[in-house]
Structure 1
Amino acid sequence: MSPFRLVYRKACHLPVEVEYKAYWPVKECNSGLGGAGIERKLQLEELECLRLEACENLRLYEEKVKEVHDKNIKRTEFRAGDQVFLYNSRLRLMLDKLKSRWDEPYTVEKVEPYGVVHLSHPSSPTFFKVNGHRLKLYHGAKVKNNKELEIFLLKDPATDED
């Protein structure tokens, strides 16, 4: 069933279908309306040309939009051994507005085709798979444990003495 029939409980008749069904009885009656029939055929042909032109314009527009969208995508290549942050999508359900949505650094163990990345946590020997779109590179120092991460984040570079 069509959505129109589900909503209105009757069949939908397009203007082209009505004209097509009405044209044959007029032709069979042979009532001398041949000129009007030819005119209507020309109008239907013009309408079909306009429809095809609109479809072509839509296709060209969609290609341009896709090109602009693909140009703005930042592709990130990960290699084994890289450290990355993992996006925590469940955090939006919590009320912590200032809490970062990016979890602590994980280590990339393996990269598979189509964006699948195997990650491992420094405190756990097991690894898990995630989509590469949920990751961003970590550009800080190599982190061995959470305590070292806290010290790195709390350290003030202005008072740091070498």
Structure 2
Amino acid sequence: MVYGTKAMMPMEFDHKTLRTAIALDMTLSATQQERLLQLSALDKIKKSALQHIETIQNQRMKWHDRYIKDKAFKLGDRALLYDSRYKDNLGKLQTRWLGPYEVIETFSNGAVQLSTIDLVKFKLLVNGHRLRLYHKPISKEKFLKQFANPKNVEIPAATGGSLSILPSS
């Protein structure tokens, strides 16, 4: 340190200022040319950074959308509603799903209007991502009737279709 002069920070040597230009005996026109070159280089760096951000966002969007399944609910379908109160602390045998509810109306933004199955007039508007399609369980009589005739047994599959099991001859 020298008494009587202002201290120059090391950062001022990396980012050229007028004070460092005077200290290094650069002419003002050379300083201006240096600043213009730095600004043009900064614009190129900014454009490349924006392109990089855009490509990364597109990659993440494709990866995210790959695992999203479209849920289409129709009028009269039954659905289970996810109960988000137990999201953090769920007991071992605690259920996360409420319902079943009946679908009254679907909206273009993904919202679904539900009502209870019994005759209570209760309408609920929820996001479609919180719903799961509910399949009615088969009755005991229908189950026994299917297995009484071993020629063609149909088991409801998780995908909504059914699997046919034919006995081998």
TM range (shorter): 0.5 to 0.7
Matches within 5 A, 1:34-49: 37=31, 38-49=33-44
CA separation of 1:93 and 1:65: change in aligned 2, threshold 3 A = closer
> Which structure shows the bigger proportion of residues in strand conformation?
2
In the other structure, the counterpart of 1:161 is 144
In the other structure, the counterpart of 1:133 is 129
Measured after TM superposition, the shift of residue 104 of structure 1 is 2.7
Matches within 5 A, 1:8-157: 19=16, 22=19, 26=22, 33=27, 37=31, 38-92=33-87, 96-123=91-118, 124-141=120-137
AA of the residue aligned to 2:126:
V
Which whole-Å deviations, capped at 9, do the CAs of 1:13-65 have from their partners, x for residues lacking one?
Answer: x97xx746648x85xxxx65357523454244323312321121111211221
Q: TM-score, normalised by structure 2?
A: 0.61
Q: TM-score, normalised by structure 1?
A: 0.63
Which whole-Å deviations, capped at 9, do the CAs of 1:40-96 have from their partners, x for residues lacking one?
Answer: 542443233123211211112112211222232111111111011100011236552
AA of the residue aligned to 2:53:
L
AA of the residue aligned to 2:83:
N
> Which structure shows the bigger proportion of residues in helix conformation?
1
Distance 1:63 1:130 in 2: 29
Distance 2:18 2:116 in 1: 70
Gaps of 5+ in 2: 1-10, 146-169
Question: What's the secondary structure of 2:61's corresponding residue?
Answer: helix
Distance 2:46 2:19 in 1: 22
* 44-53 or 58-67: bigger deviation: 44-53
Question: What's the secondary structure of 1:113's corresponding residue?
Answer: coil
Identity of aligned residues (%): 32
AA of the residue aligned to 1:114:
N
Question: What's the secondary structure of 1:48's corresponding residue?
Answer: helix
Distance 2:26 2:74 in 1: 80
Between Structure 1 and Structure 2, how many residues are aligned? 133
Question: What's the secondary structure of 1:161's corresponding residue?
Answer: helix
Gaps of 5+ in 1: 1-13, 143-151
Indicate the RMSD between aligned Cα atoms, in angstroms: 3.7
CA separation of 1:78 and 1:56: change in aligned 2, threshold 3 A = same
The structure with higher relative contact order (CA 8 Å, sep 6+) is 1
Question: What's the secondary structure of 2:87's corresponding residue?
Answer: helix
CA separation of 1:128 and 1:43: change in aligned 2, threshold 3 A = closer
